[in-house]
Amino acid sequence: MILVPITYKGGVYRHDEIVDLIADLGGYVIQKHTLATEVVLLCLVPRDDIPLIERIGRPLGGEVQLSPLVGTEVAIVTPSLSIHHLPHPACDIAEYVRRLGAKSNMVGLARGYGKRVAQTSAEEREIINEHDCAVFLLGNFEHCIKKKMVALRRGIDVPIILTGKPPVEELRQAVDPPVAGYVGNVGRFMHRTKEADEIARLDAIVAEITRVLDLRREEIAKDPLSASPARLMAVIQEQVPEIAEVTSPTPITVQIAGLRVKLPYAEYADRLRSVEIEEGVTIGRIADVLPSRMRDYILIRIKPSSETDIVV
Amino acid sequence: MVLEHFVVESPETGAASAYTDIANDVLLDHNLARAVEKLHIQIDPEYPLFLAAGTLGRLPPLIRLRDFADVTFAPGKVTLGINEETHLATLLDRLWSRYGRNRVEQPDRWTIEIADEPDLPVDRDLAAMVVSDPSEGLVRDLIYALLSIAPEGFRVREHKYENGRFWLASSENTLPEDLPERVGALFARMGEPS
């Protein structure tokens, strides 16, 4: 069964029927937003059942859209958190990526500015490496991008998508060895993105993130994970009821090959390891339960089936 | 934005157009677009050096006491009837520092009384006293705006404002020795005496 990421938007009235339907079909609701009288469900559902969800949702005013970024966590990395880079373009991009289903986190580097002095700390690198991919928002000069990317990319293991003002070809030539993705004509600007050409630039960033993450998914599909991250989320929600008391918008953040569980590591790590998925297979057996560098959260990295000989 | 002279130069043409937009946005955001008359920016990413020079348009006039208060001299005291409160706090600061707190009283919101003592008389031309200079705030805002325009890594900075002319240089390295000549050349290109 192939699960496809979708966004369902509809009225609050009787939306629980859609939630039940998705569960019955073997899908998962990753995140649910209730905005006044509207509800937005970010879900993973079986590909063949999308027409059924559309048909049942239509009388309730529901619409279904494919959202390739649902179930991913993306780091939006800016050289600093000063007026030069925030709120535009960093916040605009982070917000746009969220609208399309990804969970985006802004990572403002302490010393990411300057072509000669730019650097990242061990903590920053580890936080970025906890994501599915990192979008580096650099500036307007090709010369500076060329110099500073050498330092900024050091120690980053996740795919990097580089954005800047120079066109894609120039960005490609400026960075050696190549990074996973490039988006040109972005750079540094100091106004809100609202014109059509500016929105097109945001769409280009989303398209590049999608392309890079699809490649990552293909890579993972060659050696499938021992369990789907969405399934582990559902199991944890069922067996660790304390997760329902977490006030974060996403108490469990689903990634391509893991989860971020927003419970304190010291108290809950052992309990999570012993959570049973089915017939004696525990989370500790098929995944590494690690302390996250983000607050005191827990990071679960699911092992590939070749390593565990289990697929649940 | 309509400036008499507005040029952004850089060896990378894409970057020059991006910085034109940035300068435009920043000046508009800080309400400086009407105050600045000429602005010329040069950015060299190789050195690296950010150099901005320009002139202000007509400066706002000085605020004098007579602009917002009536001054009445009476035997033993001088009474100020305040018509507008905007500059009241600044006025009180200036009066306290000039005459001392014990001689300045404010019996109500709109009145200030200064004790006029024969050995320490109050200035007969008090109404002409300068209370505030709006161009001070303008220059502060202008320098902040130029720092927002300049690339963030350029932390070595120098700036100057004099008689409506300003310049700011910033770099990641030490500033070049021929900076005065470079600034002079920029002013010359704007049609200003260097």
B17 to chain A: nearest residue by CA? A140
Cross-chain Cβ contact B153/A166 below 8 Å: no
User: Nearest CA to A17 among A36, A41, A35?
Assistant: A41
Topology agreement, domain A3-66 and domain A73-220: no
**Per the CB < 8 Å rule, is B152 touching A142?**
no
Is residue A298 within 8 Å of residue A263, measured between CB atoms? yes
Residues of chain B with pLDDT > 90, as a percent, come to 86
- Overall average pLDDT of the B32-39 stretch: 92
Contact between B151 and A113 using a beta-carbon 8 Å cutoff? yes
pLDDT-derived band at A103, boundaries 50, 70, 90 = very high
Q: Hey, are the CB atoms on A114 and B155 less than 8 Å from each other?
A: yes
pLDDT at B1 over 70: no
Chain A contact present for B18, CB below 8 A: yes
Secondary-structure percent of chain B, ordered helix, strand, coil, rounded to 5:
35, 35, 30
Predicted confidence at residue B172, as pLDDT, reads 94
Mean pLDDT on B121-142 = 92
Whether the predicted pLDDT of B2 surpasses 90: no
The domains of chain A are located at 3-66, 73-220, 229-308
Residues of B in contact with A141 (CB under 8 A): 10, 12, 15, 43, 45, 151
pLDDT digits (tens, 9 = 90+) for A286-301: 999 999 999 999 999 9
CB A116 within 8 A of CB B172: yes
Element (H, E) at A22: helix A15-24
Q: How far is CA A111 from the centre of its chain?
A: 24
pLDDT computed for residue B136 by the predictor: 85
Task: Assess whether pLDDT exceeds 90 at residue A1.
Answer: no
Query: Looking at CA atoms only, how far is residue B1 from chain A in angstroms?
Result: 15
Contact at CB, B45 and A188, closer than 8 angstroms: no
The whole-angstrom distance between A105's CA and the closest CA on chain B is 22
* Across A188-200, average pLDDT: 94
**Predicted confidence band of residue B117 (pLDDT cuts 50, 70, 90):** confident
What's the pTM value of the predicted model, to 2 decimals? 0.88
CB contact under 8 A, B12 and A80: no
Average pLDDT over residues B120-128: 92
Give residue-wise pLDDT tens across range B52-77: 999 998 888 899 999 999 999 999 99
Whether A165 sits inside 8 A of B152 (CB atoms) is no
B154 CB within 8 Å of a chain A CB: yes
Give A228's DSSP letter.
-
Distance CA A94, CA A103 (A): 9
- pLDDT score of A134: 98
Q: Does B22 contact A190 at a Cβ distance shorter than 8 Å?
A: yes
Residues A242-295: tens digit of each pLDDT = 999 999 989 999 999 999 999 999 999 999 999 999 988 999 999 999 999 999
Put simply, whether B81 touches A (Cβ < 8 Å) is no
Matching CATH number, A73-220, of 1.10.940.10, 3.40.50.280, 1.10.150.240, 3.30.70.2190? 3.40.50.280
Counting residues of chain A whose pLDDT is more than 90, the rounded percentage is: 95
Smallest CA-to-CA distance from A158 within A93, A216, A228 is with A216
Q: Does B9 touch chain A (CB under 8 A)?
A: no
DSSP secondary structure of A55-118: HHHGGGT-EEEE-TTTT-EEEEEES-SSTTTTTTTHHHHHHHHHHTT-EEEEEE-SS--STTT-
- Closest chain A C-alpha to B14 CA, distance in angstroms: 7
Distance from CA of A163 to the nearest CA of B (A): 14
Of residues A80, A116, A143, nearest to B152 (C-beta)? A80
Chain A residues touching residue B48 (CB < 8 angstroms): 115, 144
Q: What is the mean pLDDT of chain A?
A: 95
pLDDT in tens, B142-175: 999 999 999 999 999 999 999 889 999 999 999 9
In this structure, which topology does domain A3-66 adopt according to CATH? Answer: Alpha-Beta Plaits (3.30.70)
Cis before A249 (ω within 30): no
- The rounded distance, in Å, linking the Cα atoms of A195 and B19 is 18
Which pLDDT score is estimated for A236?
Answer: 97
A32 to each of A16, A247, A257, A298, B43, how far by Cα in Å?
Answer: 11, 13, 21, 21, 48
DSSP letter for each residue of A188-205: ---S---SHHHHHHHHHH
| Chain A contact for B148 (CB, 8 A cutoff) | yes
